Amino acid sequence: MRTAVQVQFQYRTANYAYMIGMIAEPVIYLVVWSTVARSQGGAVEGITVGEFAAYYIVWTLVRNMNIVFTPYGWEGRIRQGQLSGMLVRPVHPIHYDLAYFAGWKFVVILLWLPIAAVLALIFRPTFDISPLEIGVFLIAIWGAYLIRSMLLWALGMVTFWTTRVSALYEIYFTAELLLSGRLLPLALLPAWAVTVADVLPFKYTFGYPIEVIAGDLSTRELFVGLGMQALWVALGALLVAVVWRFGVRRYSAVGN
């Protein structure tokens, strides 16, 4: 983790450029929904223009917290034999990935602050934040990171059997985009879709952490969300352990 922090600070200009590039997605969503809200008297399903701004500004941090080792990386590890060297290390490979990307998050948070300040000056978000919500948010963004890390690690290990996982990842990404709160606030979805989202992990990687700060969750909803995050972290860890146990047995390095 310490190495990741040092490396990312050395490339802070490149990281800034990367983060600024990522702003395009939420800004597009924000402009669209703000326009719709103004055309409907200032709100859509009770969400005002200022609340949309708050949602998508917090979105930018949560999105960066959700950058993890992807299944595409597993394709290289398997086909090119990169995993062989990792197997002789004294710790499980997932510990390296978790620590490396976690170290990067500390840099991301610091770099995000001025970006958020500029977005706030431009779009004028509406926030009503309590100390409890701040505390829950600081836990929730790391819970989101762990959930997504576990799920994508497990999905990536499908390459032990197929060597390619792109198609499965696209299916996962589509479901995540629609049911996580990444594309739009979950309150704008049909009731049946909200019910489905409540029991799937996607909401707890995007929508829930964002709504902790930018939404209007009750105290009960705050803690239920943390409980669901803990559940999905545990299930994700179990899934990783099971898939790893059977997948690594099939592994045969090709090498270069």
Cα–Cα distances (Å) from 203 to 58, 141, 146, 241, in that order, read 15, 12, 13, 23
Does the pTM of the predicted model rise above 0.75? yes
Whether residue 46 contacts residue 124, with contact meaning beta carbons closer than 8 Å, is answered with: no
Distance of CA 166 to the CA centre of its chain: 19
Q: What is the pLDDT of residue 76?
A: 81
Q: What is the pLDDT of residue 47?
A: 92
Whether residue 156 contacts residue 73, with contact meaning beta carbons closer than 8 Å, is answered with: yes
Q: Report how far residue 32's alpha carbon sits from residue 204's, in angstroms, rounded to the nearest whole number.
A: 24
- Residue 255 C-beta-side C-alpha neighbours within 13 Å: 4
Q: pLDDT per position in the chain (256 positions), as tens? A: 555 455 555 555 666 676 777 788 899 999 999 999 999 988 998 899 999 999 999 999 999 999 999 888 888 888 787 888 888 888 889 998 999 899 888 888 888 888 899 999 999 999 999 999 999 999 999 999 999 999 999 999 998 888 778 888 999 999 999 999 999 999 999 999 999 999 999 999 999 999 999 999 999 999 999 999 999 999 999 999 999 999 888 875 444 4
Beta bridge pairs of residue 43? 48
Q: Report how far residue 254's alpha carbon sits from residue 248's, in angstroms, rounded to the nearest whole number.
A: 14
Q: What is the pLDDT of residue 14?
A: 63
Q: Report how far residue 5's alpha carbon sits from residue 99's, in angstroms, rounded to the nearest whole number.
A: 10
Q: Helices 93-123 and 12-22: crossing angle, nearest 10°?
A: 60
